[in-house]
Structure 1
Amino acid sequence: MSRAFTREEDSENAIAGIGERPVSPHRNLVTVDGLAMIDAEVASLRAALANAEAASDRERIALVSRDLRYWNARRENAELSIPEPDGSVVRFGMSVTLEDEAGKQVTWKIVGEDEADPAKGSISHVSPMALALFGKSIGETVTVNGREWEVAGLK
């Protein structure tokens, strides 16, 4: 096939040897902070793209364009979800304190996939732990990876 019939997007990706970032098949639920994070990513990438274009840096243009397509797609299908302030069962956007059989406590905030950061105490709404917790109340237990946890608090 003639190069005249290839898409510019394809040639950009070939320059950098990159593929597209996969977009999750799950609902893109986001918290207020998650939506702000997506908006900040889009703004930052637009600025980076303008800089790369001004410098005629084709590889950087390809990388930033790919990431911008990903974040634009995530922004387009984002579903803002705010939990009820006095909810009595685990829902998206809540912080859940769990206690294991040894009495050790851990608190997780259930957030969107892009904003999840277990090292900072947040887990994705599609993680096994979050899926096991949805709909549970204080005092109920869940078992994840062979370990039993009791819901000790909701916020």
Structure 2
Amino acid sequence: MSVAFTKEDSAEAASETLLPDRPIPEGPNLVTAAGLAALERQLQEAQLAYDAAMTIEDVSERRRQAANPFRDIRYFAERVRTAQVAPPPENTDIVTFGSMVTFERDDGRVQTYRIVGEDEADPRAGSISFSSPIARALIGKGVGEAAPVGAGEVEIVAIG
């Protein structure tokens, strides 16, 4: 086999293991203090995983194992670099970034979410992104006010 084929195969394998960047949400990268700490922790974990992958002797396996951590390093480094820590809400008069808001839907369901940054949002754990449609509808409103959500609306019953 000629050296040209080896180099071509090697370049092809390398391009297959260089994953595309994770999409960066548009707009400001607002985070809570806890959100910034989580981003920094995720960056450190990705770096540790990448460092561990780089100790693998088999080149193909090393590339394969390093691909995800390398992509995550690029993503989390950018998110940490652009993070804008928002102070906790000063009052509970209106819904703002960082507020814990409870609302009632048209069908009677009552839900409570904390409005947080893109990377720290986890609806199953009770947090939603400030850029989500429901958070955008709630921000700036007070207790007793209605906000349009989808085909219906929700009424804010508590802000914490």
Same fold by TM-score greater than 0.5: yes
Verify: 1:27 aligned to 2:32, yes or no: no
Identity %: 36
- 2:85 alignment counterpart: 80
Cα gap change, 1:87 to 1:52, in 2 (>3 Å): same
Alpha-carbon distance in structure 2 between the residues aligned to 1:83 and 1:12: 47
Alpha-carbon distance in structure 1 between the residues aligned to 2:31 and 2:95: 16
- 1:139 alignment counterpart: 144
1:1-155 residue pairs with structure 2 within 5 A? Answer: 14-16=15-17, 18-56=19-57, 57-155=62-160
The answer on whether the counterparts of 1:28 and 1:77 sit within 8 Å (CA) in structure 2 is yes
RMSD value, Cα:
1.9
The alpha-carbon deviation at position 22 of structure 1 amounts to 1.2
Alpha-carbon distance in structure 1 between the residues aligned to 2:49 and 2:136: 37
Alpha-carbon distance in structure 1 between the residues aligned to 2:109 and 2:69: 43
The C-alpha deviation readout for 1:39-81, integer Å capped at 9, x for no partner, is 1101111111111111141122232111100000000000101
Structure possessing the higher radius of gyration over alpha carbons: 2
TM-score in terms of structure 1 length: 0.86
* Number of residue pairs aligned between Structure 1 and Structure 2: 146
SS of 2:15's partner is helix
Task: Report the residue type matching 2:145 in the other structure.
Answer: E
The answer on whether the counterparts of 2:118 and 2:129 sit within 8 Å (CA) in structure 1 is yes
Task: Report the residue type matching 2:113 in the other structure.
Answer: W
TM-score in terms of structure 2 length: 0.84
Q: Unmatched 5+ residue regions in structure 2?
A: 1-10
Task: Report the residue type matching 2:55 in the other structure.
Answer: A
Task: Report the residue type matching 1:98 in the other structure.
Answer: F
- 1:3 alignment counterpart: none
The C-alpha deviation readout for 1:85-144, integer Å capped at 9, x for no partner, is 423111001110001234331101111111111111111110000111110011110110
